[in-house]
């Protein structure tokens, strides 16, 4: 007796493939979630990174020195420093681009360095 299409068993997707493409944890980590503790209106994002144990221990020690409480505060502080450094680099590049080969002027009230001659 021939099977009809509805009676033919379907092959299920391999669990490993399904887990990589649509796991609940992956979807949750990629969507914006409210962050009431952030103090800013709107949604926030969750970013994650896996780090080695040595770096984790160093960061816990750093957090203690800086008075940071927990991994969230450590990550926020680190990302803030990263953003500030990138902003400074963008500013330096824009000054170099604007002035080209000429020397940028010193700010008002700043005297040129004495070269000792």
CATH number of 55's domain: 1.10.1220
Residue with the larger pLDDT of the pair 11 and 56: 56
The number of folded domains in the chain is 1
Query: Quick check: is 79 in a domain?
Result: yes
Answer yes or no: is 83 within a domain: yes
What is the spatial distance between Cα 11 and Cα 53, in angstroms, rounded to a whole number? 41
Whether residue 58 is contained in a domain is answered as yes
Would you place residue 63 in the very low, low, confident or very high pLDDT band (cuts 50, 70, 90)? very high
Q: What is the pLDDT of residue 23?
A: 43
Q: Does residue 51 belong to any structural domain of this protein? A: yes
Is residue 37 within 8 A of residue 24, CB to CB? The reply is no
Instruction: Please say if the pLDDT value at position 111 is more than 70.
Output: yes
Residue 18 counted as domain residue: no
- For range 80-96, the mean pLDDT: 96
Range of the domain at 74: 47-99
d(CA 59, CA 71): 9
Is the whole model's pTM more than 0.75, yes or no? no
């Amino acid at each position: 007796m021939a099977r009809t299409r509805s009676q033919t068993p379907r092959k299920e997707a391999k669990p490993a493939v399904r887990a990589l493409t649509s796991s609940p944890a992956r979807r949750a980590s990629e969507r914006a979630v409210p962050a009431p503790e952030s103090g800013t209106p709107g949604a926030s994002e969750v970013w994650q990174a896996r780090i080695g144990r040595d770096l984790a221990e160093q960061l816990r020690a750093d957090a203690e020195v800086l008075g940071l409480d927990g991994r969230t505060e450590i990550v926020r502080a680190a990302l803030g420093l990263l953003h500030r450094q990138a902003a400074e680099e963008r500013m330096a590049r824009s000054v170099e681009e604007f002035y080209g080969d000429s020397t940028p002027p010193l700010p008002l009230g700043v005297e040129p360095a004495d070269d000792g001659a």
